[in-house]
Structure 1
Amino acid sequence: MNYFRQLKMAVLCPGDEAGSALDRNNRIAVFLFAILPGLSPNFNSFILLASMVWGVYCLATGRLVLNLSKSDRLVAICMSIYPLVMIASIFINPPYSEVSDWIFRLLPFFSIWLILPRMRQSPDGRLVPLFILGAGIGMIVTFLFSLLQIIFLMERAEAGTSNAALLGVIGILFGGIALLNIQSPRSVEQRIAILGYAAGLGCVLLSGTRSAWLVIPIHIIIFLWYFRKHSFHLSLRSLVITSSLLLAGLITLGSGQILHRIQALQENLTSLERTDGEITSLSARFALYKGALSAISKDPLTGYGPQNRMASVLAELPDNIRPQLPYSHVHNGFLTAGIDAGVFGIVALSLLLLTPMIGALRKEAGPGRDLAIALALLLVSSYVVTGSFGIMFNQKALDPIFAYMVALICADRGNTGFAPVVRS
């Protein structure tokens, strides 16, 4: 308990340096943002929106200046291209239904211009470790919530996200982020790192999100690269024993869900051979992909606008299939961007996905750069793999998480070494 009292002081109490009140507000926002995704992602949207409004006020009144480096501006421009292309596609393709709603959804991608100057008011190396620690704590609580849902006979865990697939994406991403804290010299933070990673995997298994399972081996490769370059203080023997016990526990808890989802996939594959018109999860995806490719081929330049997305896809499918596809996207982020804005949409999406890597790679060499690259790789791989089989962007939880993490990756210098959150 002494550690958590110290953690409370580290988060809430301002230091002696100038701008400590701004630093304290940054610490609170970053810590909460890392904890909340699996519990209530709407609060992530609120934190980002509040930070943007505060940023506009401070820039307008001169309390902050737009002190973006050349690298920051490159990242911000690449990120802003995506919403600008989507907004253009809305006005190019009538009818103009729910225009304000679609534009509001795209606001998170402009946020880096407003929240990065605020993040820079905190000393280098302070916010990222706090975010990593918060991810571990958040995943542990989210897993316990998910476990209760399974115990009370929910078919797939959702935690506080109201969507099992969304929990899978959040679990694999924030569980991976949590494990980076194994390099902390504090034993409590090491334990939170291991438990947070295990909890994230537990959320993935209990949610039954098969696309998130595919991300696990990619993340393991990222960890091997990062930890090979940076030593950690936990003994290898202790790590192996702890990991083995946690893995065994996760398999025991999630075996029923794993077997159920594998069986469902086998049944879906079998149903593809039938001609009775039954639509399953897998056949629905194939139908959506076919309709999307056909629609894109007819208008490859400008697309149809996000407001006409599903209407344009369903128009390419047989009449008997359309009523069975009540979706808002085509379960592939790249095809969704192509439908919304044609080739320009796909290019803008690709630039958006590159922004974390651009922000990390353009830092000066050092441990901070390596940590930023690891965060960027975890972020991009999670979105690309899961988004190739489900939703990637235009989602009220995933958009703020991506935008906020890109700003966080840009915030520190590359030569900033990792430091524990509680330093004494």
Structure 2
Amino acid sequence: MVSFVFNGGGLWSTLLVALKRRRFNVDRPMVALTVAIYAYCGAIILASIVNNSIVTDAAQLVPLITFLFFPFSYSAWSISQKPTLARIIILSSMAACFGALLLTGIQYYWLGMERVEGGAGNPIVFATVVCLSVMVCMAGALSGIERNRGLLVCAALAGTIAILYSGSRIMWLAMLIAGIAVLLIHRRKLRSRNARRLLLVSGAVGLAIAALGFQIILERAEFLRSDWEALIAHGDHNTALGFRVAMWQIGLDAFREMPFFGHGVRASGALIKQGFLDQFGMDKGFSHFHNGFLTALVEAGIVGALALASIFAVAARNAARVLRMSVDPIERFGATMIVIVVITYLTGGMVGILVGHDILDSVLMIFLVSGTYLASGRTLPTMDEPTPPAASTVVG
């Protein structure tokens, strides 16, 4: 549903810009990010051309459209008032956290699912999106944009429970790192008595949640210990950790074969299946290497991996510049959104999907579009409104 809404909106935004019913917003941070995103798309297409598979890869190249919509969605969203957009983002994240808790209760206690996965069909993907929502609620409460801090804290705690029941250990780590980053960004706000009280209450409730989910944490930790022991002591790759280690070894071997432009976007599945048979005598198949940058290295070589890394590097640089120079709460909130999405995606992408999943791609673009606009974008009038005069033309 998220993918449908964003891509549909992106298509409509592209038509509006093409028909000159919306102005094309050319902000320097947006342009830099667009260059990085389009370079990644170009690297993926180039890999298919080099491997003479552009026709057979056509279906796998279609999801790149989500990335190509970035500058057009940005331009269409630029007519919105920044305070209104920021509040919409915060309130939507709050609703997402409460919705995630509802789905957790249904799936875990009613349907008896061992790991909740929301509507994503994948616990890690579900936990990734909820982690972003939790961090936005946390940033919204600390920024002062939304007055109802208590409700935001409750929403953040509801989302935290959902992430806990997803059993996604890497998202537990991502939530910890992103949470520390949000606190550091808003450290000056924590000096007030109300903020300290809010933080203490949140910490106490967080400890209660950890105690409530102690059994889940213990079970997941035991699984990891057992997988590690089986891999190290017995060379057993028939575990979740063993599968990942095997895929990383297969991926590195495949990268060495074609280091510059890769094997093409369709190659991962076949390489993994053949690698498991040849190297481990196992009949296993996966669609990606459970490491976002390794997948990019195999599919598009060094060119593709560097282009993918540049998206997050440029986004982080844009955010750092705003956080260093601006005191405006809206701009700092937008920059915080970028920091949150960069940390969450890079952490989760080390052992899972970084890009290439429909909802993850759409949510990444949503955060980059809205975060960049709030942090450093200029608000554009609609085509039937006069363009505001430049500062240099204003007299007196």
* Structure 2 Cα separation of the partners of residues 76 and 277 of structure 1: 44
| Structure 2 partner of 1:57 | 15
Q: Is the 8 A contact 1:183 1:233 kept in 2?
A: no
Structure 2 counterpart of 1:349, one-letter code: L
Pair 1:221-2:180 in alignment: yes
Equivalent residue pairs, number: 374
Q: Structure 1 pair 240/68, CA: closer, same or farther in 2 (3 Å)?
A: closer
Q: Map residues 219-258 of structure 1 onto 2, 5 A cutoff.
A: 219-230=178-189, 235-236=194-195, 238-258=197-217
Pair 1:280-2:239 in alignment: yes
Structure 1 counterpart of 2:357, one-letter code: Q
Q: Map residues 371-410 of structure 1 onto 2, 5 A cutoff.
A: 371-410=333-372
Q: Is the 8 A contact 1:146 1:157 kept in 2?
A: yes
Q: Secondary structure at the match of 2:22?
A: coil
* Structure 1 Cα separation of the partners of residues 145 and 24 of structure 2: 36
Structure 1 counterpart of 2:344, one-letter code: S
Q: Map residues 26-175 of structure 1 onto 2, 5 A cutoff.
A: 43-96=1-54, 98-152=56-110, 153-175=112-134
| Structure 2 partner of 1:299 | 258
- Range 184-193 or range 163-172, more displaced: 184-193
Structure 1 unaligned regions, length at least 5 = 1-42, 417-424
Q: What's the CA shift string for 1:46-83, capped at 9, x where partnerless?
A: 11111112112211221112121233211111111111
| Structure 2 partner of 1:412 | 374
Q: Is the 8 A contact 1:79 1:110 kept in 2?
A: yes
* Structure 1 Cα separation of the partners of residues 262 and 216 of structure 2: 39
Q: Which of 201, 205, 224 lines up with 1:265 in the alignment?
A: 224
| Structure 1 partner of 2:302 | 343
Q: Is the 8 A contact 1:314 1:322 kept in 2?
A: no
Q: Is the 8 A contact 2:29 2:376 kept in 1?
A: no
Structure 1 counterpart of 2:366, one-letter code: Y
Q: Offset of 1:234 from its aligned partner?
A: 7.2
* Structure 2 Cα separation of the partners of residues 83 and 339 of structure 1: 15
Q: What's the CA shift string for 1:78-122, capped at 9, x where partnerless?
A: 111111111221222244565232121111111222111111111
Q: Is the 8 A contact 2:47 2:264 kept in 1?
A: yes
Structure 2 counterpart of 1:365, one-letter code: S
Q: Is the 8 A contact 1:300 1:338 kept in 2?
A: yes
Structure 2 counterpart of 1:126, one-letter code: T
Q: Is the 8 A contact 2:236 2:242 kept in 1?
A: no
Q: Offset of 1:215 from its aligned partner?
A: 1.6
Structure 2 counterpart of 1:399, one-letter code: D
Q: Is the 8 A contact 1:366 1:415 kept in 2?
A: no
- Range 360-369 or range 136-145, more displaced: 360-369
Q: Which of 155, 159, 171 lines up with 1:212 in the alignment?
A: 171
Structure 1 counterpart of 2:267, one-letter code: N
Structure 1 counterpart of 2:27, one-letter code: S
Pair 1:365-2:326 in alignment: yes
Pair 1:334-2:296 in alignment: no
Q: Secondary structure at the match of 1:390?
A: coil
Q: Secondary structure at the match of 1:235?
A: helix
TM-score (norm 1): 0.81
* Structure 2 Cα separation of the partners of residues 293 and 355 of structure 1: 26
Identity of aligned residues (%): 22
Q: Structure 1 pair 94/322, CA: closer, same or farther in 2 (3 Å)?
A: farther
| Structure 2 partner of 1:37 | none
* Structure 2 Cα separation of the partners of residues 54 and 220 of structure 1: 35
Structure 2 unaligned regions, length at least 5 = 379-396
Q: What's the CA shift string for 1:399-418, capped at 9, x where partnerless?
A: 011111111112135599xx
Q: Structure 1 pair 168/234, CA: closer, same or farther in 2 (3 Å)?
A: farther
- Range 331-340 or range 318-327, more displaced: 318-327
| RMSD of aligned Cα (Å) | 2.5
Q: Is the 8 A contact 2:143 2:186 kept in 1?
A: no
TM-score (norm 2): 0.87
* Structure 2 Cα separation of the partners of residues 186 and 330 of structure 1: 40
Q: Structure 1 pair 253/322, CA: closer, same or farther in 2 (3 Å)?
A: farther
Q: Is the 8 A contact 2:231 2:242 kept in 1?
A: yes
| Structure 1 partner of 2:387 | none
- Range 44-53 or range 336-345, more displaced: 44-53
Q: What's the CA shift string for 1:226-270, capped at 9, x where partnerless?
A: 221346977146414531442144224322221111111111012
Q: Structure 1 pair 99/395, CA: closer, same or farther in 2 (3 Å)?
A: same
Q: Secondary structure at the match of 2:26?
A: coil
